[in-house]
Amino acid sequence: MKYIFSSPYYLNNRATGANKRFERILYELQGKYEVCIVVTKGQVPLDISSSVSVYEIPLFVAERRLLTFIYLNFLYLYFAFCKNVLISDFNPIPVSGFFSKRQFQLIHDARIFDGFGRWSKLSSMLMRLQWKYVRNKIVVSQFTKDCLCNELSIRESSVVVSYNGILPSDFDTSSNKNREIDLLYVATFEERKNHINLVKALSLVDQPLTVIFLGKDLGLKSEVEKEALKLERHKITFLDSVSETELAELYRNSKIFISPSLYEGFGMPILEAYAYGCKVLCSNIPIFHEVLGKYASYFDPKNGENIAALIIDAHFYYDQKDAVAINILPQFLWPKICEELQTNICISLGNSQSKFLK
C-alpha cells in the first residue's frame, strides 16, 4: 500500500505552516514506506528522497483551478482504483473523495464559519457542502474538528485530528543569548491577523522597542505600514519572506513573540517561538490555549490597552534565563504526529495497524 500526499498549493521556497506540514510528514515517512507526492511542476521538496515517486502537475494546468480540478479527478480516481491512501488539501474536492474510504481531505482551518474567509457566499456554501459529505477529513486541531462537527452536524469518527508540530533537533536556545529583537510577529498581512490593533497597542508603550513584522502581503500591509510610521519612538521593520535558516535566527534573537490573531486553524509560529525560548504573548482564543496552554500569556486581541500592558510587563520582567524551550508536549512532535496519523488512518480503514503497515 502506498501513501500519496497531494498539494497543488505547496511551495518549496516559502516557510508556511501548511508547507512545513507537507514536508515534515513526507520526510518522516520516506524511506520507511512507499510514498508518492503530487505537486505543481518545479515545486518538489528540496530534501526529497529518491525513493519517493513524484507526479508534477503541468504549470498550464496548475495555474487554472478548473483544469487542476479536472486533472486531479482523473488522477485521484486512478489512486482509488489502485487502493492507495491519499491525503489531499485541494478544493474543490475531486469526486473520488466522496466515496473512497482511502482518500482523506486535509483541512487546515475552518474560517468559512467565522467570517474570515476570502471566499464569496456561493463559494463558502459549496465548501460547506463538500466538507459535510466528503468521506474522510483530517484537521490540524481539536478546535477545527469541533467547528466542523458542530456546524455541519457530522460524525466525529469522520474527522481525524493530526496536529502540526516541530522537531526538537531543529531548536537550539543555547546560542544568541543577547537577544536584540524586543518583539516579533510572524503572520500574513490580512484582517484576521490583527496587525492594526497591535500597532495601536504599541503607541501606548513608552519604552522604545525593536519590532519586526514578517509576512506575505494579502492586502493590508500598506495600511499597517502607514500606522507604524506614526510610532517614531519604536524601530519597526517589515520583512516579506525569509528562509527557514533566517526565520530560525529571528526566533533566536527575539525576546518576545506576539500573536494578536483573531482566528487560526493551528498557530505554528507560537509553538516554534516557544521552542526557541521566546516569551509568547497571544490572543485569548481557544486554539492558542490548545497549542500552548499555560506556557503563554493571553490578552484580549480587541483591547489595545490589554495588549500594551502585557507587552510592557513581559519586556520589563524579561529574563534571559527563561529563554529555554521546555515542556513541548509529545503530540506536537513530528515523529509522534506521524505515528498517530498512521494509527488513525488504519482505524478509518477498519484495519489493524500491523495489517495495514504490511
- 8 A C-beta contact, residue 322 and residue 295: no
Q: Compute the distance between CA of residue 338 and CA of residue 302 in angstroms, rounded to an integer.
A: 36
Q: Please tell me the predicted confidence (pLDDT) of residue 357.
A: 43
How many residues can be counted in the chain?
A: 358
**Count of other CB atoms within 10 angstroms of residue 310:** 19
The predicted pLDDT at position 175 comes to 61
73 contacts: CB under 8 Å, gap ≥ 6: 94, 95, 96
**What pLDDT is attached to residue 353?**
43
Work out the number of other CB atoms within 10 angstroms of the CB of residue 259.
24
Strand blocks (E) in 99-241 = 103-107, 137-139, 159-161, 181-186, 210-214, 235-239
CA-to-CA dists, residue 227 to 222, 230, 263, angstroms: 9, 6, 22
Q: How far, in Å, CA of 139 to CA of 160, rounded? A: 6
Whether 63 contacts 98, CB under 8 Å: no
Query: How many C-beta neighbours within 10 Å does residue 329 have?
Result: 14
What is the predicted pLDDT for the residue at 86? 97
Torsion of CA 121, 125, 126, 131, to 10 degrees: 140
Specify whether the CB–CB gap between 247 and 224 falls below 8 A. no
Query: Taking Cα atoms as reference points, which of 129, 56, 144, 61 lies closest to residue 98?
Result: 129
In order of start, what are the domains of the chain with their CATH numbers? 3-165+333-357 (3.40.50.2000), 169-328 (3.40.50.2000)
| φ, ψ (nearest 5 deg) of residue 345 | -65, -40
Cα four-point dihedral sign 307, 308, 311, 313: negative
**Which amino acid is it at 265?**
G
> Alpha carbon of 345 to those of 35, 135, 154: distances in Å?
15, 13, 18
Question: Any idea what DSSP says for residue 33?
Answer: B
pLDDT at 324: 58
* 54: β partners: 37
Short-list 253, 267, 297, 260, CA closest to 279:
297
8-state DSSP, 313: H
Report yes or no: 147 and 112 within 8 Å, Cβ to Cβ: no
Cβ distance 295 to 174 under 8 Å? no
Bridge partners, 37 (sequence order): 5, 54
List the chain pLDDT tens, one digit each, 358 residues. 789 999 999 998 887 889 999 999 999 999 889 999 999 999 999 889 999 999 999 999 999 999 999 999 999 999 999 999 999 999 999 999 999 999 999 999 998 888 776 677 888 899 999 999 999 999 999 999 999 999 999 999 999 999 999 987 777 666 656 899 999 999 999 999 999 999 999 999 999 999 999 999 999 999 999 999 999 999 999 999 888 889 999 999 999 999 999 999 999 999 999 999 899 999 999 999 999 999 999 999 999 999 999 999 998 877 766 665 566 788 899 999 999 999 999 888 885 444 444 4
The answer to pTM > 0.95 is no
What are the Cα distances from residue 165, in Å, to 155, 206, 272, 282, 311? 26, 36, 8, 18, 26
How does DSSP assign 98-114, residue by residue?
GT-TTEEEEES--GGGT
Q: Are 204 and 233 in contact (CB under 8 A)?
A: no
Residue 351 confidence (pLDDT): 57
C-alpha dist (Å) from residue 286 to 145, 166, 273: 12, 20, 18
